[in-house]
Amino acid sequence: MKKENGSLRIKHLRRALVLSSFYLIIQTASATEEGKVAADLAHKLDHGMQLGSKRSSSLLPSINGVVDSTSRIAKDTTIFTEPPVPIPTQAATPVSSFIQSVRDFASEYHKKAVKSPLMNAIFTAAISQQEYAFFQYAILEIYSILEAAKDHEDLPGLSEFLREAKRDISQEVVMEFLDDGYRTTLDSNESLSNYIQRVEGIQGDDVLLLAHIFVLFGGDLAASTILHPKLDQAGIPERLSRRYSFLNEAERLALQNRMRKLIDNVNELYPHRVEEFKTEVLEGYRLNLALFSSLYPLPPKVDE
């Protein structure tokens, strides 16, 4: 009885070793015809082992042939596979009920901005280099005011966020892609003037400044994974589309999480100003939409 049990254990061990070897071969050679044959033989081997070692042994000559063939192919052939997808080091922070309430409050204006002719041209990769440069030159006026603000003592972490969220793009870079005369066109743009007047008028008020940062930077972080490929498809040079360019998904998520923390801090630190903050977010979307409408289609440039 002990001898039979010993033989049975050896049989099972032999079966496990052979099958393990073949599963490894199949993983290595799955892209080849020999790999498919190996998979079929491994299945037969598994079935044969269950019926008896005598039948399974009869398969070994054929299997050994596949092993030799697969080993030769592995030496002579490079099997190309998809590169591994980088895994973000942190997940997105769940949206709090307060942030969701802010979104709901301004949802109608947000929808209008997203569906504006300018954004539609970007989302469909139908925007020209000149049109996009004109838009970027104008909107950078607003970003530069927000990024220049310092000493955000009322909202800890806001200065660090602005420093890390700032993209490597400036009006000087944009001017390389913009025809002469369009800067003068923007000098008389009433929508841009109103936008600048508003963000300059609230310098020193971190709560109200954050409302506009939420509208602009929050939109960049949320839509960058869609906008950047569309701009590339439209033929917009990388130096001009850096507003939506991040090192990797982990960087984008980290900035997005920090943004959400800042907004939640408004609710935690200044609950008496929550409605004021929401109203300013709405104003930010309104100014944004008015500016979009004035920039696209491209207006006639002023001859200098």
- The highest-confidence range among 75-84, 234-243, 254-263, by mean pLDDT, is 254-263
- Predicted confidence at residue 14, as pLDDT, reads 55
**Cα–Cα distance measured from residue 239 to residue 170, given in angstroms and rounded to the nearest whole number:** 10
Q: Which residues contact 21 (CB under 8 A, 6 or more apart)?
A: 67
Give me the pLDDT at residue 243, please: 81
210-228 tens-digit pLDDT: 999 999 999 999 988 899 8
Would you place residue 89 in the very low, low, confident or very high pLDDT band (cuts 50, 70, 90)?
low
Choice between 91 and 165, residue whose per-residue pLDDT is larger: 165
Question: Does residue 81 sit in helix, strand or coil?
Answer: coil
274 has a pLDDT exceeding 60: yes
Between 149 and 98, residue with greater pLDDT = 98
Does pTM top 0.85 for this prediction? no
The pLDDT score that the predictor gives to residue 46 is 43
Local structure of residue 277 (DSSP, 8 states): H
With beta carbons less than 8 A apart as the criterion, state whether 213 and 288 touch.
no
What residue ranges of the chain are covered by domains with CATH 1.20.910.10? 97-295
User: Could you give the 3-state DSSP secondary structure of residue 238?
Assistant: coil
49-65 tens-digit pLDDT: 344 444 444 444 443 44
State the burial class of residue 209 (Cβ atoms within 10 Å of its Cβ: 0-12, 13-18, 19+): buried
Task: Give the model's pLDDT for residue 16.
Answer: 47
DSSP state of 299: P
What does the alpha-carbon distance between residue 31 and residue 245 come to, in Å, rounded to a whole number?
Answer: 35
* pLDDT(69) > 50: no
Distance, in Å, from the CA atom of 197 to the CA atom of 142, rounded to the nearest integer, reads: 10
What local confidence, expressed as pLDDT, does residue 7 receive? Answer: 55
The pLDDT assigned to 25 comes to 40
pLDDT at 34: 40
Mean pLDDT over residues 78-101, rounded? 64
The 10s digit of each residue's pLDDT in 122-180 is 999 999 999 999 999 999 999 999 998 777 889 999 999 999 998 888 898 999 999 88
What is the per-residue pLDDT for 33?
Answer: 43
Query: Is pLDDT above 60 for 23?
Result: no
Choices 3.40.50.2300, 1.20.910.10, 2.20.25.240, 3.40.980.10: CATH for 97-295: 1.20.910.10
148: amino acid identity, one letter = A
E strands present in the chain: none
Spatial distance between the Cα atoms of 204 and 222, rounded to a whole number of angstroms: 26
Q: Tell me the DSSP string of 138-198.
A: HHHHHHHHHHH-----SSTTHHHHHHHH--S--HHHHHTTS-TTHHHHHHT-HHHHHHHHH
254-260: average pLDDT? 95
Q: How much is the pLDDT for 153?
A: 87
Answer whether the bond into residue 297 is a cis peptide, omega within 30°: yes
Percent pLDDT > 70 in the chain is: 70
